[in-house]
Amino acid sequence: MAYPHLGKSIAQLSVLMQSGTLDPVELAEESLDAIRSHQDQAIFISLLEERAREEAVAASKRLRDGRSRGLLDGIPIAWKDLFAIRGLPTTAGSAVLAREAPAAKDADVVEALAAAGMVSVGRVNMSEFAFSGLGLNPHYGTPLNPVSTDVERVPGGSSSGSAVAVASGLVPVSIGTDTGGSVRIPSAFNGLVGYKASRGRYSMDGVFPLATSLDSLGPLCRSVQDAIWVDAAMRRLTAPVIVHANLKDISLVVPETVVMDDIEDGVRQAFDSAIERLQQAGVRVRRAAFPTFNGVFELMAKHGPMVTAEAYALHYHRLSGPDAAEMDRRVVARTSLGEKIGLIDYIALLKGRERLIEEFATATAPNEFIAYPTVAHVAPPLAPLRDDDDLFVKTNGKTLRNTLIGNFLDCCGVSLPCGAGDGGMPVGFLLSAKRGQDEQLLAAALAVEQVVFPRV
């Protein structure tokens, strides 16, 4: 069955609905029908059919009455399975939380986008408890990367279903979380735009945590413009305030430390070609060593990963009880490592992190952005990772390596598609800025997007 309006960006759909060419009810029904009939039934964990229809009908009436709530009115959206949705338990991709009581209210950001008129069609799959960059889930199945044309490949995680839902054209946007790369990695693997906002930019009320010192939120979508519109609505603004940057005013620094180590040739070529195009367009680019990046990994090697310590504190009662037998063995193994991280180590991590953030703040000029490949490789084949736990751990670590730096140093970042690598799979171009510089980052991303990934 043909779905003529699916696979379009928010901006494209908004024009159609605001002009009266497309009705929100028609679009919602297209989306729901496409989800139900899609060959990959591991993408969505639950559909919100009744809610979606009610919200679409309300949006339709507002548009007919000339009372539109703005650019997002009537736009379908999917939510990662750790956002509270009233009337449903918040399962976070797990089987054990399915027994929990239903949420009494929506998460704050769900409420905010509902207030903007968006139509929630369902909750999407994820790595259990958001604790993997690859996206495998033994409970609800693993969504397959829809871009792959040779073998079944991982979707990226932990916001796996979010990326696949958008890349498959089922919804134009999905909201994910990012603790070590969980928005930017799946966006890179699926050829999407993924925006990880500064920690604290949005309310985290009603969002199941992984590591509260690192957790952040953001949209996975088809363009930077779409991300800007959603960002504004998540902060309950009636319109975005981002000003389009001038390419000739943008300065980038490309790190020569850590992020280029053991990188696939195809990824390097796609990234370097994007940098060359940017320079030709007038963007200033320099390359520099970033010893702070080494410092992040040295600190974790000495005291343990902060994410593991905080995840263990959150789940220790599950790990020591019968729930552990119902959890993903890989999540259990990784989370259990947090038992070895004592209070002295954790305090050392906090102090060391503060020092590295201060050090990092002096490594770039005030209006300079950092650019490097989102992931050092393209989406890997699924089967070997499903069958070999040692390979899974090694690949997961490498997948998270480039992005977790931004979480540890409290950055904001946007992953943009910049070409193709091995197997014709998408490559991500990560543009990052210091915490709180989201407006500047989004303005720069809006300007460089058309150069980094020219659409033909």
Out of 148, 182, 198, 415, the active site residue is 182
- Strand partners of residue 220: 174, 194
Structure tokens at 44: 């969505």
φ/ψ of 19, rounded to 5, equals -85, -5
SS (H, E, C) 29-83: HHHHHHHHHCCCCCCEEEECHHHHHHHHHHHHHHHHCCCCCCCCCCCEEEEECCE
Residue 31 catalytic?
no
Q: Give 64's Cβ-side CA count (13 Å radius).
A: 9
Any idea what DSSP says for residue 154? Answer: -
Structure tokens at 378: 């393209």
Out of 60, 158, 162, 213, the active site residue is 158
Q: Are the beta carbons of 395 and 375 closer than 8 angstroms?
A: no
Q: Are the beta carbons of 206 and 113 closer than 8 angstroms?
A: no
Residues 6 or more apart from 422 whose CB is under 8 A from it? 264, 265, 266, 377, 378
Go through the chain and tell me how many residues it has: 456
Residues 6 or more apart from 406 whose CB is under 8 A from it? 181, 184, 196, 412, 413, 430, 432
Residue 158 catalytic?
yes
Residue 94 catalytic?
no
Out of 9, 31, 60, 80, the active site residue is 80
Q: Are the beta carbons of 417 and 431 closer than 8 angstroms?
A: no
Active centre residues (catalytic): 80, 158, 182
